Amino acid sequence: MVERYLDFLGAERAASAHTLRAYGVDLRDLAAFVAPRDLLAVTVLDLRRWLARRGGAPSSTLRHISGFRTFYRWTLREGLLTESPAERLATPKVPRSLPRVLEVDEASEVVESPSGSEWRKVRNAALLELAYGAGLRVSEVAGLDVADVDLHEGLVRVRAGKGRKDRVVPVGPPAVDATRAWLSERGAAAGPLFTNVRGGRLTVRGIYDVVRGSGANNGLAGVHPHALRHSFATHLLRGGADIRSIQEMLGHASLSTTQRYTHLEIEELQRAWRKAHPHGRDTGGGR
Protein backbone atom coordinates (compact mmCIF):
# COMPACT_ATOMS: atom_id res chain seq x y z
CA MET A 1 0.00 0.00 0.00
CA VAL A 2 2.84 2.38 0.82
CA GLU A 3 4.50 1.61 -2.50
CA ARG A 4 1.24 2.30 -4.35
CA TYR A 5 0.92 5.60 -2.53
CA LEU A 6 4.50 6.64 -3.31
CA ASP A 7 3.97 5.71 -6.98
CA PHE A 8 0.92 7.99 -6.95
CA LEU A 9 2.90 10.87 -5.43
CA GLY A 10 5.69 10.47 -7.95
CA ALA A 11 3.49 10.08 -11.03
CA GLU A 12 0.55 12.37 -10.33
CA ARG A 13 1.89 14.91 -7.85
CA ALA A 14 5.41 15.11 -9.28
CA ALA A 15 6.85 14.77 -5.77
CA SER A 16 10.62 15.04 -5.49
CA ALA A 17 12.84 12.08 -4.66
CA HIS A 18 13.56 13.69 -1.28
CA THR A 19 9.83 13.94 -0.46
CA LEU A 20 9.17 10.36 -1.54
CA ARG A 21 12.03 9.10 0.60
CA ALA A 22 10.95 11.08 3.68
CA TYR A 23 7.28 10.07 3.41
CA GLY A 24 8.23 6.45 2.83
CA VAL A 25 10.48 6.37 5.91
CA ASP A 26 7.74 7.87 8.10
CA LEU A 27 5.02 5.50 6.89
CA ARG A 28 7.13 2.37 7.25
CA ASP A 29 8.19 3.45 10.73
CA LEU A 30 4.55 4.10 11.66
CA ALA A 31 3.60 0.65 10.31
CA ALA A 32 6.25 -0.95 12.52
CA PHE A 33 5.06 1.14 15.48
CA VAL A 34 1.42 -0.07 15.27
CA ALA A 35 2.16 -3.68 14.24
CA PRO A 36 0.53 -6.17 14.12
CA ARG A 37 -2.22 -3.74 13.07
CA ASP A 38 -1.80 -2.13 9.66
CA LEU A 39 -1.89 1.51 8.57
CA LEU A 40 -5.62 1.40 7.88
CA ALA A 41 -6.25 0.67 11.57
CA VAL A 42 -4.22 3.61 12.85
CA THR A 43 -5.99 6.01 15.23
CA VAL A 44 -5.30 9.64 16.02
CA LEU A 45 -3.93 8.47 19.38
CA ASP A 46 -1.43 6.23 17.56
CA LEU A 47 -0.27 9.21 15.51
CA ARG A 48 0.09 11.40 18.59
CA ARG A 49 2.14 8.72 20.35
CA TRP A 50 4.34 8.25 17.27
CA LEU A 51 4.95 12.00 17.02
CA ALA A 52 5.72 12.22 20.75
CA ARG A 53 8.23 9.40 20.41
CA ARG A 54 9.93 11.07 17.46
CA GLY A 55 10.11 14.51 19.08
CA GLY A 56 12.11 17.09 17.19
CA ALA A 57 11.58 20.70 16.20
CA PRO A 58 8.09 22.02 15.40
CA SER A 59 9.07 22.24 11.73
CA SER A 60 9.88 18.51 11.70
CA THR A 61 6.60 17.66 13.44
CA LEU A 62 4.75 19.76 10.89
CA ARG A 63 6.40 17.85 8.06
CA HIS A 64 5.44 14.50 9.62
CA ILE A 65 1.83 15.63 10.06
CA SER A 66 1.67 16.93 6.49
CA GLY A 67 2.92 13.58 5.21
CA PHE A 68 0.36 11.61 7.21
CA ARG A 69 -2.48 13.88 6.13
CA THR A 70 -1.52 13.48 2.49
CA PHE A 71 -1.32 9.70 2.86
CA TYR A 72 -4.68 9.32 4.59
CA ARG A 73 -6.38 11.65 2.10
CA TRP A 74 -5.12 9.26 -0.56
CA THR A 75 -6.67 6.31 1.31
CA LEU A 76 -10.00 8.17 1.27
CA ARG A 77 -9.68 8.76 -2.45
CA GLU A 78 -8.92 5.09 -3.00
CA GLY A 79 -11.92 4.03 -0.91
CA LEU A 80 -9.74 2.29 1.66
CA LEU A 81 -11.04 4.42 4.56
CA THR A 82 -14.01 6.68 5.21
CA GLU A 83 -12.30 8.93 7.76
CA SER A 84 -8.73 10.14 8.15
CA PRO A 85 -7.14 9.86 11.60
CA ALA A 86 -4.60 12.53 10.66
CA GLU A 87 -7.12 15.36 10.23
CA ARG A 88 -7.60 15.62 13.99
CA LEU A 89 -3.92 16.21 14.69
CA ALA A 90 -3.13 19.64 16.10
CA THR A 91 -0.75 21.59 13.89
CA PRO A 92 2.20 23.04 15.81
CA LYS A 93 3.09 26.69 15.44
CA VAL A 94 6.39 26.99 13.63
CA PRO A 95 8.39 30.18 14.18
CA ARG A 96 8.78 31.85 10.82
CA SER A 97 12.47 32.10 10.11
CA LEU A 98 13.46 34.95 7.89
CA PRO A 99 15.88 34.07 5.11
CA ARG A 100 19.22 35.82 5.03
CA VAL A 101 19.07 38.70 2.60
CA LEU A 102 22.19 40.36 1.28
CA GLU A 103 22.22 44.11 0.87
CA VAL A 104 22.46 45.25 -2.75
CA ASP A 105 26.13 46.16 -2.43
CA GLU A 106 26.89 42.82 -0.74
CA ALA A 107 25.15 40.87 -3.51
CA SER A 108 27.04 42.90 -6.09
CA GLU A 109 30.35 42.13 -4.41
CA VAL A 110 29.65 38.38 -4.29
CA VAL A 111 28.48 38.26 -7.90
CA GLU A 112 31.04 40.61 -9.43
CA SER A 113 34.09 39.31 -7.56
CA PRO A 114 33.82 35.50 -7.78
CA SER A 115 36.30 33.07 -6.35
CA GLY A 116 38.46 30.88 -8.57
CA SER A 117 41.09 31.53 -11.19
CA GLU A 118 41.40 31.22 -14.95
CA TRP A 119 38.42 29.42 -16.52
CA ARG A 120 36.80 28.70 -13.16
CA LYS A 121 36.53 32.40 -12.40
CA VAL A 122 34.82 32.99 -15.75
CA ARG A 123 32.39 30.12 -15.10
CA ASN A 124 31.71 31.23 -11.54
CA ALA A 125 30.95 34.78 -12.65
CA ALA A 126 28.31 33.54 -15.10
CA LEU A 127 26.86 31.12 -12.54
CA LEU A 128 26.53 33.81 -9.87
CA GLU A 129 25.08 36.38 -12.25
CA LEU A 130 22.39 33.95 -13.43
CA ALA A 131 21.61 32.63 -9.94
CA TYR A 132 21.13 36.14 -8.54
CA GLY A 133 19.86 37.79 -11.73
CA ALA A 134 17.09 35.21 -12.24
CA GLY A 135 16.47 34.10 -8.65
CA LEU A 136 17.13 30.46 -9.47
CA ARG A 137 17.03 27.53 -7.06
CA VAL A 138 20.34 25.70 -6.80
CA SER A 139 18.85 22.63 -8.54
CA GLU A 140 17.68 24.87 -11.38
CA VAL A 141 21.16 26.34 -11.83
CA ALA A 142 22.58 22.82 -11.95
CA GLY A 143 19.96 21.76 -14.50
CA LEU A 144 20.57 24.56 -17.00
CA ASP A 145 21.67 23.59 -20.49
CA VAL A 146 23.24 25.88 -23.07
CA ALA A 147 19.96 25.87 -25.01
CA ASP A 148 18.10 27.26 -22.00
CA VAL A 149 19.84 30.65 -22.16
CA ASP A 150 18.76 33.14 -24.84
CA LEU A 151 21.50 35.77 -24.77
CA HIS A 152 19.94 37.81 -27.57
CA GLU A 153 16.66 38.29 -25.72
CA GLY A 154 18.14 38.16 -22.21
CA LEU A 155 15.98 35.23 -21.08
CA VAL A 156 16.55 32.05 -19.08
CA ARG A 157 14.23 29.09 -19.53
CA VAL A 158 13.90 27.07 -16.34
CA ARG A 159 12.84 23.56 -17.31
CA ALA A 160 10.73 21.47 -14.94
CA GLY A 161 11.45 23.50 -11.85
CA LYS A 162 9.86 22.71 -8.52
CA GLY A 163 6.39 21.28 -9.15
CA ARG A 164 7.43 20.37 -12.71
CA LYS A 165 6.43 23.80 -14.00
CA ASP A 166 8.55 25.47 -16.67
CA ARG A 167 9.03 29.23 -16.60
CA VAL A 168 10.97 31.97 -18.39
CA VAL A 169 12.84 34.63 -16.40
CA PRO A 170 14.49 37.77 -17.79
CA VAL A 171 18.09 38.62 -16.89
CA GLY A 172 20.07 41.81 -17.30
CA PRO A 173 23.15 42.75 -19.33
CA PRO A 174 25.66 41.71 -16.60
CA ALA A 175 24.32 38.15 -16.65
CA VAL A 176 24.23 38.11 -20.45
CA ASP A 177 27.81 39.41 -20.72
CA ALA A 178 29.13 36.99 -18.09
CA THR A 179 27.38 34.02 -19.73
CA ARG A 180 28.66 35.02 -23.15
CA ALA A 181 32.21 35.17 -21.74
CA TRP A 182 31.77 31.72 -20.19
CA LEU A 183 30.49 30.23 -23.43
CA SER A 184 33.52 31.65 -25.23
CA GLU A 185 35.67 29.80 -22.69
CA ARG A 186 33.56 26.64 -22.57
CA GLY A 187 32.53 26.46 -26.20
CA ALA A 188 28.94 26.74 -27.42
CA ALA A 189 28.33 23.02 -27.91
CA ALA A 190 25.05 21.64 -26.59
CA GLY A 191 24.96 20.17 -23.11
CA PRO A 192 25.10 21.37 -19.52
CA LEU A 193 25.75 25.09 -19.20
CA PHE A 194 27.94 24.84 -16.12
CA THR A 195 30.56 22.11 -16.24
CA ASN A 196 33.27 20.82 -13.94
CA VAL A 197 36.91 20.15 -14.67
CA ARG A 198 36.00 16.85 -16.37
CA GLY A 199 33.42 18.48 -18.62
CA GLY A 200 30.46 16.95 -16.78
CA ARG A 201 27.54 18.84 -15.30
CA LEU A 202 28.45 20.88 -12.21
CA THR A 203 26.65 19.34 -9.24
CA VAL A 204 24.49 21.03 -6.61
CA ARG A 205 27.29 20.55 -4.11
CA GLY A 206 29.73 22.16 -6.52
CA ILE A 207 27.42 25.18 -6.89
CA TYR A 208 27.19 25.53 -3.11
CA ASP A 209 31.00 25.56 -3.01
CA VAL A 210 31.13 28.28 -5.68
CA VAL A 211 28.65 30.53 -3.83
CA ARG A 212 30.18 29.98 -0.39
CA GLY A 213 33.67 30.54 -1.79
CA SER A 214 32.66 33.79 -3.47
CA GLY A 215 31.01 34.98 -0.26
CA ALA A 216 34.13 34.20 1.75
CA ASN A 217 36.23 35.86 -0.94
CA ASN A 218 34.35 39.08 -0.18
CA GLY A 219 34.38 38.73 3.61
CA LEU A 220 30.81 37.40 3.86
CA ALA A 221 30.45 34.11 5.72
CA GLY A 222 27.55 31.73 5.26
CA VAL A 223 26.41 32.89 1.84
CA HIS A 224 24.58 30.14 -0.01
CA PRO A 225 22.51 29.86 -3.22
CA HIS A 226 19.23 30.34 -1.34
CA ALA A 227 20.54 33.65 0.00
CA LEU A 228 21.02 34.86 -3.57
CA ARG A 229 17.48 33.78 -4.47
CA HIS A 230 16.00 35.48 -1.39
CA SER A 231 18.02 38.61 -2.14
CA PHE A 232 16.75 38.60 -5.74
CA ALA A 233 13.13 38.62 -4.55
CA THR A 234 13.67 41.20 -1.82
CA HIS A 235 15.58 43.57 -4.08
CA LEU A 236 12.82 43.33 -6.70
CA LEU A 237 10.22 44.13 -4.07
CA ARG A 238 12.20 47.12 -2.82
CA GLY A 239 12.57 48.29 -6.39
CA GLY A 240 8.81 48.40 -6.87
CA ALA A 241 8.08 45.10 -8.63
CA ASP A 242 4.59 43.77 -7.94
CA ILE A 243 4.19 40.59 -5.93
CA ARG A 244 2.53 38.66 -8.79
CA SER A 245 5.47 39.27 -11.10
CA ILE A 246 7.90 38.16 -8.40
CA GLN A 247 5.80 35.03 -7.88
CA GLU A 248 6.07 34.18 -11.58
CA MET A 249 9.82 34.77 -11.68
CA LEU A 250 10.43 32.67 -8.56
CA GLY A 251 8.18 29.87 -9.82
CA HIS A 252 6.07 29.78 -6.66
CA ALA A 253 2.84 27.86 -7.07
CA SER A 254 1.22 29.77 -4.20
CA LEU A 255 1.20 33.53 -3.75
CA SER A 256 1.39 33.02 0.03
CA THR A 257 4.92 31.64 -0.40
CA THR A 258 6.01 34.83 -2.15
CA GLN A 259 4.25 37.08 0.34
CA ARG A 260 6.78 36.25 3.05
CA TYR A 261 9.01 38.79 1.32
CA THR A 262 6.33 41.40 1.94
CA HIS A 263 6.31 40.37 5.61
CA LEU A 264 10.08 40.66 5.66
CA GLU A 265 9.90 44.21 4.36
CA ILE A 266 7.27 45.15 6.94
CA GLU A 267 9.37 43.74 9.78
CA GLU A 268 12.41 45.66 8.57
CA LEU A 269 10.35 48.85 8.48
CA GLN A 270 9.09 48.19 12.01
CA ARG A 271 12.63 47.65 13.30
CA ALA A 272 13.80 50.86 11.63
CA TRP A 273 10.85 52.81 13.07
CA ARG A 274 11.39 51.49 16.59
CA LYS A 275 15.06 52.39 16.37
CA ALA A 276 14.71 55.88 14.90
CA HIS A 277 11.31 57.33 15.78
CA PRO A 278 11.02 59.39 19.00
CA HIS A 279 7.93 57.40 19.99
CA GLY A 280 9.40 54.08 18.86
CA ARG A 281 11.29 53.36 22.05
CA ASP A 282 9.81 52.15 25.32
CA THR A 283 10.54 54.85 27.87
CA GLY A 284 9.22 52.79 30.76
CA GLY A 285 6.57 55.39 31.44
CA GLY A 286 3.68 52.96 31.03
CA ARG A 287 2.21 54.65 27.99
CA distances, 98 to each of 82, 137, 165, 231, 276 (Å): 40, 17, 26, 12, 22
Catalytic residue among 54, 73, 226, 260: 226
Catalytic residue among 162, 167, 201, 260: 162
User: Around 137, how many Cα atoms within 13 Å sit in the side-chain half-sphere?
Assistant: 14
Catalytic residue among 137, 186, 212, 235: 137
Is 64 noted as a catalytic residue in this protein? no
Is 137 noted as a catalytic residue in this protein? yes
Is 226 noted as a catalytic residue in this protein? yes
Is 93 noted as a catalytic residue in this protein? no
Query: Distance (Å, rounded) from C-alpha 45 to C-alpha 5?
Result: 23
- Beta strands 167-170; 155-158: pairing state: antiparallel
Nearest Cα residue to 47 out of 64, 28, 63? 64
User: Around 265, how many Cα atoms within 13 Å sit in the side-chain half-sphere?
Assistant: 15
Is 162 noted as a catalytic residue in this protein? yes
Catalytic residue among 186, 230, 235, 252: 252
Is 224 noted as a catalytic residue in this protein? no
Does residue 65 contact residue 56 with C-beta atoms inside 8 Å? no
Catalytic residue among 186, 229, 230, 235: 229
What are the catalytic residues? 137, 162, 226, 229, 252, 261
